[in-house]
Structures are given as structure tokens and as C-alpha cells.
């Protein structure tokens, strides 16, 4: 048996490895070349788009594009800013962003990150701070308090992920406990029905209520609201602004300009449809 194995080993080692046919090699080379060309084209297009976007933002910042010089912010009553928790630790960027928003004319800002980094940063000073020079940044903010930043009063609200799912759970628990603890006049003797007004009141009672933002700016790698309370986003416009570290003043102005040109017809189509069918008459 050992002799048979010894005789077979040289034969096996002398065998040449299987070679691929010439057509298959050519096809693989062509597919690899096509993949490289497509990848290169997409990379060049992305680089060109980023370059044009950066140039446009700088031109907007210096006021060289006329249509971005004046725009109406009457519809923007409340603004929300969602920041990725890893980028929210950059306090200097957050302060710079707040001053830019104040210079544009924003009066109410809701800051959100899922881990509560912004809430921990801005909560200690409830009365805010004042600066005489508009070029300086704001060191601390306020949790749903009015403060003066760059000579313009602006109200800042700080919320986190605990105001989302945990907040709705606490509100539901409060409504249930209200009914169980003897408030039968509001609940009735039959089936318990909670209305939207009941839930809104419960959210305000536990400190998780607040105005619905007209515009939501998202700073971070993900194109989503990162857990921002969904019940406050019924008619909110959402815009992704890219990473916080690469934020630009021109990009903020451009986002506000786009928002001023948008038309929201929430509820108007249904109302006109019912009116045309004579249902409301």
C-alpha cells in the first residue's frame, strides 16, 4: 500500500494545473474593464457635483446670486435640526450653526440627537448667555428657553431619543393611569377611546410635547430623521444637509430658499374633492 501511494505522488505532482480557455479570460478582462470605467465615471460625476455644489454655496455666502439674497421666512415658524450623536459632540460647530440660523432670522430651533448629547451640553444654562459681538459664538444654550444670540432673540429646544419612544410610552401610561385611578367621567363606562387631543395633552404633561417643525434639517451620514418624534413630523419638510463637519452657510440659505418655494396642499385636495361631490353641502 505504501509503495502504491509513493508511485502515485509523482504522477499527481507532474500534472499541470487546469488552464482557463482563452474566451473566458477575454470575457473576464472585458467585464473588469467595464466595471473600472463605470466606477471611474461615477466617481468623476460625484466629484464634479460636489465641486459645483461647493462653488454655489460660496457664491451664495458672498451674496453673488441675486435670487438667494431675499426670500420670505414667514412660513418657517419652527425649525428642527437633527444631528448625528457622534457629530453632536462638536460644540463649536453647533454654536456656529446656531449663530448662522439666528443671522438668517430663525426664531425657534429644536435641536435633536438620539443619545442626548445636545441636551447634556445645553441644559446646564437655562437662561442662555449674551454676547455683544455678533462675530462670537454662543457657548451655552437653553432648554426651551429664549436667549439672545448675535443680537437676535431665538428660542432653543433640546430633545433626545428619550422624548421619542419613551415619551409616547410614558404618555400612554399616564392616560391609562388617569382612567384607572377613578377619572371615569372622561373615560366613560364603555370602551376606552383616546383621541389625538388626549395624547397631545399627555405628551405636554410629561414634557415631551412641542410645536411641529415646518422644516427639518438633518446633519449626518444617514438620510433619515434618526428617531425624531414622529408625531411632530406630520407636515414637516425634511432636507438632508450632509455631515456637520462640512456644513456651509450657503447650503442653509439654499435650503431655506427651497422651502420658501415649496407648496404644501395638505388637506386641500380632499376638501375640494368632497366639496365638488356636494358631500360638504
Considering the domain architecture, whether residues 213 and 105 belong to the same structural domain is answered as yes
> How confident is the model at residue 108, as a pLDDT?
92
Considering the domain architecture, whether residues 90 and 122 belong to the same structural domain is answered as yes
Locus of grid cell 474566451: 23
Q: Report which of 243, 257, 270 is spatially closest to residue 97, judged by C-alpha positions.
A: 243
Average pLDDT over residues 261-277: 56
Q: Higher confidence at residue 18 or residue 245?
A: 245
Look at residue 7 and tell me if it is in a domain.
no
Does the model's pTM come out above 0.85?
Answer: no
> How confident is the model at residue 231, as a pLDDT?
82
State the Cα torsion 62-67-73-79 to the nearest 10°: -60
Look at residue 79 and tell me if it is in a domain.
yes
Look at residue 134 and tell me if it is in a domain.
no
Q: How far apart are CA 146 and CA 151, in angstroms?
A: 12
> How confident is the model at residue 281, as a pLDDT?
42
What DSSP string describes 31-51? HHHHHHHHHHHHHHHHHHHHH
- Percent of the chain whose predicted confidence (pLDDT) is above 70: 73
Q: Higher confidence at residue 162 or residue 36?
A: 36
Considering the domain architecture, whether residues 111 and 44 belong to the same structural domain is answered as no
Look at residue 187 and tell me if it is in a domain.
no
Q: Higher confidence at residue 115 or residue 170?
A: 115
Look at residue 242 and tell me if it is in a domain.
yes
Look at residue 13 and tell me if it is in a domain.
no
Using the predicted structure, report yes or no on whether residue 51 has a pLDDT greater than 60: yes
Considering the domain architecture, whether residues 94 and 222 belong to the same structural domain is answered as yes
Condensed to tens digits (0 to 9), the pLDDT of residues 174-186 reads: 888 877 775 555 5
Range name among 42-51, 97-106, 127-136 with the lowest pLDDT average = 127-136
Condensed to tens digits (0 to 9), the pLDDT of residues 28-46 reads: 899 999 999 999 999 999 8
> How confident is the model at residue 152, as a pLDDT?
60
Q: Higher confidence at residue 172 or residue 12?
A: 172
- Percent of the chain whose predicted confidence (pLDDT) is above 90: 25
Considering the domain architecture, whether residues 51 and 80 belong to the same structural domain is answered as no
Considering the domain architecture, whether residues 238 and 155 belong to the same structural domain is answered as yes
Domain count along the chain:
2
Tally the residues of the chain: 281
Look at residue 107 and tell me if it is in a domain.
yes
Describe the strand order of the beta sheet including 79-83 as a list of residue ranges.
145-149, 152-160, 108-113, 79-83, 215-219, 237-242
> How confident is the model at residue 54, as a pLDDT?
86
Using the predicted structure, report yes or no on whether residue 139 has a pLDDT greater than 90: no
Considering the domain architecture, whether residues 58 and 156 belong to the same structural domain is answered as no
Considering the domain architecture, whether residues 75 and 116 belong to the same structural domain is answered as yes
Considering the domain architecture, whether residues 82 and 167 belong to the same structural domain is answered as yes
> How confident is the model at residue 10, as a pLDDT?
52
> How confident is the model at residue 125, as a pLDDT?
53
Q: Higher confidence at residue 185 or residue 244?
A: 244
Q: How far apart are CA 98 and CA 157, in angstroms?
A: 12
Considering the domain architecture, whether residues 34 and 52 belong to the same structural domain is answered as yes
Q: 3-state DSSP call for residue 104?
A: helix
Look at residue 155 and tell me if it is in a domain.
yes
Q: Higher confidence at residue 32 or residue 230?
A: 32
Q: 3-state DSSP call for residue 241?
A: strand
Considering the domain architecture, whether residues 57 and 161 belong to the same structural domain is answered as no
Q: Are 244 and 219 contacting, i.e. CB atoms less than 8 angstroms apart?
A: yes
Ranges of beta strands (E only) in 4-98 are 79-83
Q: Nearest 5°: phi and psi at 63? A: 70, 30
State the Cα torsion 138-141-146-149 to the nearest 10°: 10
- 237 membership: H or E segment, kind and range: strand 237-242
> How confident is the model at residue 18, as a pLDDT?
55
Domain range enclosing 65:
29-69
> How confident is the model at residue 222, as a pLDDT?
83
Q: Nearest 5°: phi and psi at 30? A: -65, -45
Average pLDDT over residues 198-205: 79
Using the predicted structure, report yes or no on whether residue 209 has a pLDDT greater than 50: yes
> How confident is the model at residue 195, as a pLDDT?
75
Q: Nearest 5°: phi and psi at 196? A: -65, -35
> How confident is the model at residue 167, as a pLDDT?
78
Alpha-helical (H) ranges within 62-195 are 91-104, 117-122, 165-180, 184-187
Q: Are 158 and 147 contacting, i.e. CB atoms less than 8 angstroms apart?
A: no
C-alpha cell at 231: 408625531
Q: Report which of 233, 231, 224, 213 is spatially closest to residue 172, judged by C-alpha positions.
A: 231
Considering the domain architecture, whether residues 38 and 122 belong to the same structural domain is answered as no
What CATH number corresponds to the domain at position 79?
3.40.1180.10
Amino acid at each position: 500500500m505504501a509503495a502504491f501511494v509513493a508511485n502515485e505522488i509523482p504522477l499527481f505532482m507532474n500534472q499541470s494545473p487546469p488552464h482557463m480557455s482563452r474566451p473566458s479570460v477575454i470575457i473576464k478582462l472585458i467585464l473588469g474593464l467595464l466595471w473600472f470605467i463605470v466606477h471611474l465615471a461615477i466617481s468623476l460625476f460625484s466629484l464634479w457635483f460636489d465641486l459645483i455644489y461647493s462653488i454655489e454655496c460660496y457664491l451664495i455666502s458672498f451674496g453673488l446670486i441675486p435670487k438667494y439674497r431675499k426670500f420670505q421666512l414667514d412660513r418657517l415658524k419652527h425649525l428642527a435640526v437633527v444631528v448625528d450623536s457622534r457629530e453632536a459632540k462638536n460644540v463649536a460647530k453647533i454654536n456656529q450653526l446656531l449663530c448662522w440660523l439666528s443671522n438668517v432670522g430663525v426664531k425657534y430651533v429644536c435641536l435633536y440627537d438620539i443619545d442626548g448629547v445636545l441636551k447634556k451640553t445645553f441644559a446646564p444654562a437655562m437662561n442662555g448667555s449674551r454676547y455683544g459681538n455678533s462675530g462670537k459664538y454662543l457657548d451655552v444654550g437653553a432648554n426651551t428657553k429664549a436667549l439672545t444670540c448675535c443680537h437676535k432673540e431665538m428660542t432653543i429646544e433640546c430633545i433626545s431619543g428619550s422624548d421619542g419612544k419613551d415619551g409616547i410610552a410614558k404618555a400612554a401610561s399616564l392616560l391609562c393611569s388617569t382612567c384607572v385611578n377613578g377619572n371615569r367621567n372622561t373615560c366613560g363606562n364603555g370602551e376606552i377611546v383616546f383621541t389625538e387631543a388626549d395624547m397631545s395633552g399627555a405628551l405636554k404633561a410629561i414634557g415631551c410635547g412641542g410645536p411641529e417643525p415646518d422644516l427639518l434639517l438633518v446633519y449626518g451620514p444617514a438620510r433619515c430623521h434618526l428617531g425624531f418624534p414622529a408625531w411632530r413630523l406630520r407636515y414637516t419638510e425634511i432636507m438632508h444637509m450632509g455631515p456637520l463637519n462640512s456644513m456651509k452657510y450657503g447650503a442653509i440659505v439654499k435650503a431655506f430658499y427651497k422651502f420658501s418655494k415649496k407648496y404644501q396642499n395638505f388637506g386641500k385636495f380632499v376638501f375640494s374633492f368632497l366639496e365638488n361631490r356636494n358631500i360638504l353641502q
